[in-house]
Chain A
Amino acid sequence: MKKVNTGLLIFIVILFGLALWVVWPNHEIRGHTGFALGLDLQGGTRLVYSANLSMKDPSQTDAQALEGVKQTIERRVNAYGVTESTVRIMQNEQGSFIEVQLPGVKNIDEARKLIGQVAELDFREQVVGEGGNTTWVIAKAVGSDGQEKELTGTYFKPNATVVWNPTTNEPEVAFEWNAEGAVLFKQITTRNLNKPLGIFLDNELISAPTVQAVIEAKGVITGLSLEKARTLAIQLNSGALNVPLTEIGRNDVGATLGADSLNKSLLAGIIGLALIILFMIIYYRVSGLVACLALIVYAVLTLAVFRLIPVVLTLAGIAGFIVSIGMGVDGNVLVCERLKEELRGGSTLQRAVEQSFRQSWSAIWDSNVTVFIACAVLLWLGTRTVFANPTVTGFATTLFIGVALSMFTQVVVTRAFLRTVVASGLAKSPRAYGVLKA
């Protein structure tokens, strides 16, 4: 029963070639030219906010309010110029959270102010109370549909910009009203002529210019530092947040520290893999060599899958991958040990190869299923934790993919390679398979 499987071998070679092409770092796949790296490896900042949903607009559902917050933050971050940022909603029994990942941000404090602020802008007029005290009251006017409306930043066109005042040489935010805003602003400036009009951001007065003419089209906001003006312009264009956010955690990773971790872990992985290969070849000879070739196919296939999905690689994810290499070795060790046993028992080489795979299968399958169960539970745990999420999820994802693919390579690739070696007649003696006494 000579098993030659040329078709399968060609399939494996093509698959390996494709995988190698995918892993090769010179071209772009799914928006990345290399592996998608997590913040802990490329450096950057991760901010976690708790969303106060009790403050949401009652007409919205929780999900709508959170989705709105997410989109607003995405607009702000994009306008700020952070590429590859991600904003995620996390909901569990502890509450609702928004996680913002900002790779490579230099001025973290500025970014934090930009993202976390509700940024509700409104215009207020001064009302003199009974005791002669003046108080600020949100300016209202009748809109084009006959309804009375409050004048807020929602009536701005999304094209606010920072400009320099030519006379004071100070930064200002220039804005334009949309059609409805113009209707309201005209009435309000008319009745407040020569009186101050307060501009409030999140209930804090930022400036109170005196109205000098009836205006309808546009205006400027003064009294800001350059940094604040820039932030405000982005916030006005992106819209206010639906609900207030509280920053509950922050994780910065310095760029060089991240790169250090990446290089060290890769080096460790390569040295570990080299040791495994050395050990397997010395101990199991030909079958060890075959197993190592299969292991290399496995490693490249797994990395290709990481790039195709794409899996965001974190330190924990790399650790998961390396652990899966260990488990990949395990299946091969099981087969190699069986092969030795069969050969010692006096089987022919071909029969021994077929038997060793048949006999090892139940152990390979049952033991890997238990790892899948652990991974599934880890993925669940990832959704239950706010801060540990990228770590736990990253580890479970790479371990899961790694173990699944290692089962495939053990059963398909190692077997095809071993059959080929046996059929070729290159290594016939049982000693070549690590059997000391036949």
Chain B
Amino acid sequence: MIDFVGKKHWFFLISAILIISGIISLAVFGLKWGVDFSSGTAITLRFEKEVELGQLRQELADLGYSGANPQPNKNVVGEFFIRLPAISSDEYNQLKAGLEAGLDTKITDSSLYTVSATVAMATVRNTVIAVAIASIGILLYISWAFRKMPKPIRWGTCAILALLHDLIIVIAVFSILGWAVGMEVDSLFVAGVLAIVGVSVNNIVVVFDRIRENLKRGVSSDFAVVANCGIMESVGRSLNTGLATLFVIVALYLLGGVTIRTLILALLVGITTGIYSSLCIAGQLLVVWDKGEWGKLFPRLPSVKRAS
């Protein structure tokens, strides 16, 4: 039997490192906002024949878009994604005509996404409100579902803490990817984040359900043992469900259209950290709370570090 609860300080340490570096990344790099959030234009162009990236960049610069950084679609020859500040429809038509003339090829298909006014920024605020409402709703529901347990509010609170842990890591990963490879945060990412709220709590509830059952059965008088039993019994299910979901997600990521990449990537990261937090964080938080070890948690961390 693996002692998941006994190793809680290691898990908390790993999570603390991840969360702190995530917050630093967010503070330093921030997020790279997509068209829906910041106003601007995103264009996908498919040329009739292969076009060299450098040549396209040069042509764009000649047309007055020197900041544009076209990204080739690795799966389709001659397809590029170009992000520009908001341009008008006339400018768009001129841009396409200019590229066709300059590169001596036809544009066979194109997509355009442009938001000229900043109705965009309010979306960010509403997303934060949405996550807050969802968290409160879930907190209330879990507290109600575990109402027969002693101190039901703890179960809800610990689930939300573990959830926030997952969300911060997902957002941090996008912050790092935004800086490293120009990954943008768009409305699909928002849908992904809210889906993670559901999926991640789903995992936590399954573990809590097992702990609840063991508590009812009176497995042990020590809550740490009860919690560890519950976690141990959930490992098979958590890994199997997680793997099954990841099969689909990875298939979608590798084969699916480029346009839903942000959603899929958010889910990929969120589901992975969700498995981790449900097994290694959520139940352990309950134990810490039950034993009143909040105060001890932090003084012990340095000693753990020393031991390592």
Using Cβ atoms and an 8 Å threshold, which residues of chain B touch A29?
Answer: none
Question: In the bound complex, how far is the Cα of B191 from the Cα of A375, in angstroms?
Answer: 9
A111 to chain B, nearest CB (A): 11
Q: A275-B247, A369-B141 are in contact. Are A256 and B108 (CB under 8 A)?
A: yes
Q: Render A244-262 as a binary contact track against B, CB cut-off 8 A, 1 for contact.
A: 0011111111111100111
Chain A contacts for B145, CB-based, 8 A:
366, 369
Contact status A276-B115, CB under 8 Å: no
Q: Are A264 and B257 in contact (CB under 8 A)?
A: yes
Closest to A337 in B: B237
A273 within 8 A of B: yes
Q: How far is the CA of A26 from the CA of B201 in the complex (A)?
A: 41
- In the complex the two chains form, what is the Cα distance from A275 to B245 in whole Å? 10
Contact (Cβ within 8 A) B137 A373: yes
B-contact bits for A297-326, CB 8 A (1 contact / 0 none): 000000000000000000110011011011
Give min CB distance, A362 to chain B, whole Å.
6
Instruction: Give Cα distance in the complex from A326 to B199, angstroms.
Output: 10
Please state if A248 and B244 are interface contacts (CB–CB under 8 Å): no
Question: How far apart are the CA atoms of A144 and B119 in the complex, in Å?
Answer: 48
Which residues on A sit within 8 Å (CB–CB) of B237? 330, 333-334, 337
Q: Is the CB of B187 within 8 A of A392?
A: yes
* One of B49-57, B123-131, B219-227, B293-301 contacting the partner: B123-131
Q: How far is the CB of A261 from chain B (nearest CB, A)?
A: 3
4 tightest A-B CB contacts, nearest first:
A388-B187, A272-B248, A261-B257, A374-B198
User: Does B240 sit at the interface, judged by CB under 8 A?
Assistant: yes
In the assembled complex, how far is the CB of residue A231 from the closest CB belonging to chain B, in whole angstroms? Answer: 15
A385 CB–B CB distance under 8 Å: yes
- Return 21 A-B CB contacts under 8 Å, by A number: A97-B119, A108-B89, A255-B109, A257-B109, A257-B110, A260-B257, A267-B255, A271-B255, A272-B250, A275-B247, A315-B259, A323-B195, A323-B199, A327-B199, A334-B241, A374-B138, A377-B130, A377-B137, A378-B195, A384-B122, A392-B190
Interface residues in B, total, Cβ within 8 A: 74
A sample of 12 more A-B contacts (CB under 8 A), given A265-B252, A276-B248, is: A254-B110, A256-B108, A257-B44, A315-B257, A322-B252, A323-B245, A367-B209, A369-B145, A381-B194, A387-B35, A391-B190, A396-B191
A349 is an interface residue with CB less than 8 A from chain B? no
Other-chain contact of B240, A271, A333, A376 (Cβ < 8 Å)? A333
8 Å CB interface, B11-42 against A? 35-36
Interface with A: B98-106, B176-184, B260-268, B281-289, which one?
A: B260-268
How far is B254's CA from A254's CA once the two chains are assembled, in angstroms?
Answer: 22
- Assess whether A370 is in contact with B263, with CB atoms less than 8 Å apart: no
Pick from A248, A265, A283: contact of B257, CB below 8 A. Answer: A265
Q: Is B116 an interface residue (CB 8 A)?
A: yes
Is residue B153 contacting chain A, with contact meaning CB distance below 8 A? no
A298 to B113, CA, bound (A): 35
Interface membership of B205, Cβ < 8 A? yes
The reply to whether A381 and B247 form a contact with Cβ atoms under 8 Å apart is: no
The answer to whether the Cβ of B256 comes within 8 Å of any Cβ in the partner chain is: yes
| Contact B36 A388, beta carbon cutoff 8 Å | yes
- Picked from A315, A370, A387, the residue with its CB within 8 Å of the CB of B123 is A387
> Is B164 an interface residue when CB atoms closer than 8 A count as contact?
no
Q: Produce 1/0 per residue, B195-239, CB < 8 A to A.
A: 101110111011001101100000000000000000001001100
Report B-chain residues with C-beta under 8 Å of the C-beta of A378.
130, 191, 194-195
Whether the pair A373, B198 counts as a contact (CB closer than 8 A) is: yes
Q: Can you name the residue of chain A whose Cβ is closest to the Cβ of B206?
A: A363
Contact mask for chain B residues 152-195; partner A; CB cutoff 8 A; 1 contact, 0 none: 00000000000000000000000000000000001110110011
| A319 engages B244 (CB within 8 Å) | no
A265:B123 contact, CB within 8 angstroms? no
Cα(A323)–Cα(B198), bound, Å: 11
A residues bordering B, Cβ < 8 Å?
40, 50, 93-95, 97, 108-109, 112, 246-257, 260-262, 264-265, 267-269, 271-273, 275-276, 279-280, 283, 315-316, 319-320, 322-323, 325-327, 329-330, 333-334, 337, 341, 359, 362-363, 366-378, 380-381, 384-388, 391-392, 395-396, 399
Q: Answer whether A315 and B252 are a contact pair too, CB < 8 Å, given A283-B240, A386-B119, A387-B119.
A: no
How distant is A141 from chain B, measured CB to nearest CB, in Å?
40
A248 touches B119 (CB 8 A): yes
Known: A315-B257, A363-B206. A375 touches B130 (CB 8 A): no
Beyond A275-B251, A323-B245, A333-B241, whether A387 also contacts B115 by CB under 8 A is: yes
Residue of B nearest to A381 (CB): B130
With A and B bound together, what is the CA distance between A320 and B188 in angstroms? 11
Find chain A residues with CB under 8 A from B205 CB: 363, 366-367, 370
Q: Do B188 and A391 have beta carbons less than 8 Å apart?
A: yes
Asked whether B269 is an interface residue with its Cβ less than 8 Å from the other chain, the reply is no
Pick from B117, B122, B188, B251: contact of A268, CB under 8 Å: B251
Known: A254-B109, A316-B260. A370 touches B141 (CB 8 A): yes
Counting chain A CB atoms within 10 Å of each CB, the highest count among B93, B127, B243, B247 belongs to B247
B244-A333 in contact (CB<8A): yes
Give B85-107 interface residues, CB cut-off 8 Å to A.
89, 93
User: Is B120 part of the contact surface with A, judged by Cβ < 8 Å?
Assistant: yes
| Assembly CA distance A388 to B124 (angstroms) | 11
Picked from A254, A273, A315, A373, the residue with its CB within 8 Å of the CB of B260 is: A315
Max chain A C-beta neighbours (<10 A), residue from B93, B116, B257, B264:
B257
Say how far B91's CB is from chain A's closest CB, in angstroms: 12
Pick the residue among B46, B188, B197, B249 that contacts A257 (CB under 8 A): B46
- Residues of A contacting B60 with CB < 8 Å? none
Given contacts A330-B202, A377-B134, contact A93 B241 (CB under 8 A): no
Q: How far is the CA of A275 from the CA of B252 in the complex (A)?
A: 12
Judging by beta carbons under 8 Å apart, are A272 and B93 in contact?
no
Question: What residues on A are CB-neighbors of B119 within 8 Å?
Answer: 50, 94-95, 97, 248-249, 386-387
- B112 proximal to A (CB < 8 A): yes
In the complex, the answer to whether B115 meets A249 with C-beta atoms within 8 Å is yes
